[in-house]
Structure 1
Amino acid sequence: MDHFLYRDGVLHAEDVRVSDIAAAVGTPFYVYSTATLTRHFTLFDEALGGMDHLICFAMKSNSNLAVLKLMGELGAGIDVVSMGEYLKAKAAGLPGDRIVFSGVGKTREEMRVALEGGIRQFNVESEPELEALNAVAMSLGVKAPIALRVNPDVDAKTHAKIATGKSENKFGIPIATCRDVYRRAGQMEGIDVVGIDVHIGSQLTQLEPFELAFTKVAELTELLRADGHDIRRLDLGGGLGIPYERSNEAPPLPVEYGEVIRKTVGHLGCEIEIEPGRLISGNAGILVSSVIYLKHGEGRDFLIVDAAMNDLVRPSMYDAHHDIVPVIEPLAGAEQAPLDIVGPVCETGDTFAKARDMPPLREDDLVAFRSAGAYGAVMASEYNSRPLIPEVLVHGDQFAVIRARPTYDEMINRDTIPVWL
């Protein structure tokens, strides 16, 4: 469920007409719903009710400070994967003891900054990283809390580019050999072993891969405890998918995901961490764009809009589907025709949809790309020297620009020309 609905013939974001936002900030832009973000976080929180747990929002899905601030006020932790994300989480008011640092390539400087600023745990991905973290922690005279990220060799049955739990993926330490790494970690002066971490991929639409992975984690927990480790925390990652195509069968609900967690690891007495991102923020945002031209070609027609692949790269990168709807509700029974929906970037790959049935549209009409709140603005670029687009947050009948569109001068003036030119 989201809070982007037609009312009186106009698409609304909560109680605000999307067309009013467009008139105020120009297109294209992203708009997020506070009510949807809140509801989706609450669904996860309720799904783990009765268990000691922390919902760590995966900020790689949406890293706007206002969104992070909202998550923090709801009681969330934050899962970060870079120093920039760590510093943004801190800037949004998140305390260090609610920040988990993941990622395969943490640098010593990132480790130092997090240890000095406060950290809940590092999810360590390799033996060289473990050794580096131990050295940094010892140089600071502290112990670094860690969970080793284990790779369970489970097929997440998702897109190859977002699968992370198979043996050929770059993530984690093979679960079959990780006991020796845990033994070494337990002997290190700068390391405090607190738990186990696992994450098998993103946009999962079935529960079976989770159950297989979590069952392996439960077995590993028992083995590590027998080896003398105080395993008190299990980070089970994220990855639960969302329904990008509303005509398709919906993925499992958070409550069903919670039941899998209870069934597989609930008996261990561990604190549970999960790292949802897409399911919290994905359907909480839309991308709004204006029609520039309707172009008639040979055998196909093109709807050219002012959003482009640099604003929303998922269709180009993953062949991802986003429902695209007019902001003004079409008349009942309006005739539809197939259109290729494309942007103005000088790439054939700047295509959002091919032969998508759409109602009649004209120049300057507004369209909305649904389910764009995750991996939208965060993956945007200034390709073709197109400024990054605004982000807007709606709360009831109010809206605020939470990231402004830079001017062309601001974009250009970030570059410098050396004195010899």
Structure 2
Amino acid sequence: MSDSATGQRVTTQTEQGLYIDPEALTAHLSALHYSDDALCMEQVSITELVKCYDTPCYVYSKQAILDVYQAYSDSFAAVDHQVCYAVKANSNLAVLGVLAQAGAGFDIVSRGELMRVLAAGGDVSRVVFSGVGKTRDDIDYALTQGIGCFNVESISELTLIHEVAVQLDKLAPISLRVNPDVDANTHPYISTGLKDNKFGIAHEDAVAVYEQAADLSHINIVGIDCHIGSQLTEVEPFIAALDKIVELIHKLRDKGITLQHVDLGGGLGVRYIDETPVSIDEFAAALLPKLSELGLTVFFEPGRSIVANAGVLLTRVDVLKPTEHKNFAIVDAAMNDLIRPALYQAEMAVIPNVLPSSGIETDGMQPWDIVGAVCETGDFLAKDRLLSLATGDILAITGAGAYGFTMSSNYNSRPRASEVMVADNRHQLIRKRETVEALYADETLWQS
């Protein structure tokens, strides 16, 4: 596959394995690049970051985050809009703070995420609360804080929100998350808009539920919402979902129910290695004609597309274990640090800190499985990658800014990695590495 910016082939599949050209790969990443054959994030060398913070370590580019956020805002400038960053993708306070300062709204799915947004300086009136399992305490806290909107996913949730609103004597702003039964053509674990998914209210039931909501004294209907999945690379599923939402908006108007906003959720895909997702500009161009006619504020809930390619996971090669059947490079990161390859069979690029000689015929280049030290066969970060490796080498796993640290765990009693943010030639620790002692500090021995 050729990189559109350079014309170079990003990947070459051989009988031995997959070769990823590091220079061609980084050509489409705004922050990651090679300078004098050494990998850099913005203007900071990866070598310097490893010396300061060790590995494994997540590193994020502030400018790359802002660039994508601004691209959404600019592309939809023709309509009143609100970009609500999906906090679940990467919930570090520094990431949230950068977006809050840029004027972003936020999409949350828990009280904890709302508290993070508030701690980072986010505007609660620009927050939408999604998720199928909101508790009474969640709703109470969100209403007390002045939440912008609840995306309601069931009739029982609507009833619970109304009960809490009555107790607090507050008007609860709501939209219904409608399940349009549209196939997002993505991994089944991240598809959310089909009838057999747990999310949302069935399209055919939506008008009746809106009428029920309109009769509740402490409910204020403000919008309509849908979200069909994640890592979508085509615009057609978005158009199909929007057509169904537009149909409902017209039916609601006929019944005297008027809305303030339409929320199309998130899900726009990113390029990890050689995917060809629709661009934000193309996405906007396809949707704007229909959205402009509605005259409503347009909400989006992007997460992955804002932060994925703004981040890398740095890891060190600890052990090289060539065998008759496989070559294993055992690194200090593992599935507890980055679970996407094991959970979603995600293909993520692994590139060296020091640029190798060009071409795949370089002496010493072999196929390696990049694996961790966790006691699971499923503990791998990449398979059959053509690399020239030595113990102590530093590798960068790209596309790791989304669903990387936020899905990490302490499995095998492994401390979670540190997180760092880079801006131009500056860098800052934004989460210190956990210690093993901290993992059991809140536990006690049984006293017989």
Q: Give the whole-Å Cα distance in 2 for the aligned partners of 1:198 and 1:252.
A: 19
Q: Give the whole-Å Cα distance in 1 for the aligned partners of 2:104 and 2:434.
A: 30
2:345 aligns with 319
* Aligned counterpart for 2:293 among listed residues 267, 271, 280: 267
Q: 402-411 or 14-23: which moved more?
A: 402-411
Q: 335-344 or 201-210: which moved more?
A: 335-344
Q: Give the whole-Å Cα distance in 2 for the aligned partners of 1:112 and 1:369.
A: 41
Report percent identity of matched pairs.
Answer: 44
Gaps of 5+ in 1: none
Shift of 1:249: 4.4
* Aligned counterpart for 1:49 among listed residues 77, 89, 92: 77
Shift of 1:365: 0.6
Shift of 1:40: 0.7
Check conservation: 1:211, 1:264, Cα contact below 8 A. Answer: no
After TM superposition, list the pairs within 5 Å mapping 1:21-420 onto structure 2.
Answer: 21-245=49-273, 248-333=274-359, 334-335=362-363, 336-358=365-387, 360-420=388-448
Q: Give the whole-Å Cα distance in 1 for the aligned partners of 2:150 and 2:326.
A: 52
Shift of 1:79: 0.4
Q: Give the whole-Å Cα distance in 2 for the aligned partners of 1:79 and 1:53.
A: 14
Q: Give the whole-Å Cα distance in 1 for the aligned partners of 2:379 and 2:86.
A: 27
3-state SS of the aligned residue for 1:142? coil
Check conservation: 1:210, 1:260, Cα contact below 8 A. Answer: no
TM-score between the two structures when normalised by the length of structure 1:
0.98
Q: Give the whole-Å Cα distance in 1 for the aligned partners of 2:179 and 2:84.
A: 20
Amino acid at match of 2:381: F
Shift of 1:232: 1.6
1:148-192 alpha-carbon deviations (Å, 9 max, x no partner): 000000000000000000111100001112111000000001100
1:255-298 alpha-carbon deviations (Å, 9 max, x no partner): 11112221222201000000000000000000000001110112
Q: Give the whole-Å Cα distance in 2 for the aligned partners of 1:222 and 1:29.
A: 50
Q: 307-316 or 256-265: which moved more?
A: 256-265
Q: Give the whole-Å Cα distance in 2 for the aligned partners of 1:356 and 1:236.
A: 37
Q: Give the whole-Å Cα distance in 2 for the aligned partners of 1:239 and 1:50.
A: 21
Aligned pair in 2 of structure 1 residues 183, 61: CA closer, same or farther (>3 Å)?
A: same
3-state SS of the aligned residue for 1:128? helix
* Displacement over 3 Å in runs of 4+: none
Q: Give the whole-Å Cα distance in 2 for the aligned partners of 1:104 and 1:49.
A: 31
Check conservation: 1:316, 1:350, Cα contact below 8 A. Answer: yes
Amino acid at match of 2:170: V
Q: 298-307 or 131-140: which moved more?
A: 298-307
Q: Give the whole-Å Cα distance in 1 for the aligned partners of 2:194 and 2:39.
A: 42
Amino acid at match of 2:304: R
Amino acid at match of 1:345: V
Q: Give the whole-Å Cα distance in 2 for the aligned partners of 1:14 and 1:261.
A: 33
Q: Give the whole-Å Cα distance in 1 for the aligned partners of 2:185 and 2:128.
A: 26
Q: Give the whole-Å Cα distance in 2 for the aligned partners of 1:39 and 1:93.
A: 20
Q: Give the whole-Å Cα distance in 2 for the aligned partners of 1:416 and 1:92.
A: 33
Shift of 1:416: 1.9
1:174-233 alpha-carbon deviations (Å, 9 max, x no partner): 111211100000000110001100000000011100000001111111110111111121
1:4 aligns with 32
Amino acid at match of 2:235: L
3-state SS of the aligned residue for 1:184? helix
Amino acid at match of 1:35: Q
3-state SS of the aligned residue for 1:112? helix
Check conservation: 1:150, 1:172, Cα contact below 8 A. Answer: yes
Gaps of 5+ in 2: 1-28
Amino acid at match of 1:23: K
Shift of 1:327: 0.6
TM-score between the two structures when normalised by the length of structure 2:
0.92
Q: Give the whole-Å Cα distance in 1 for the aligned partners of 2:299 and 2:228.
A: 15
Q: Give the whole-Å Cα distance in 2 for the aligned partners of 1:86 and 1:138.
A: 22
Shift of 1:410: 1.9
Q: Give the whole-Å Cα distance in 2 for the aligned partners of 1:310 and 1:174.
A: 36
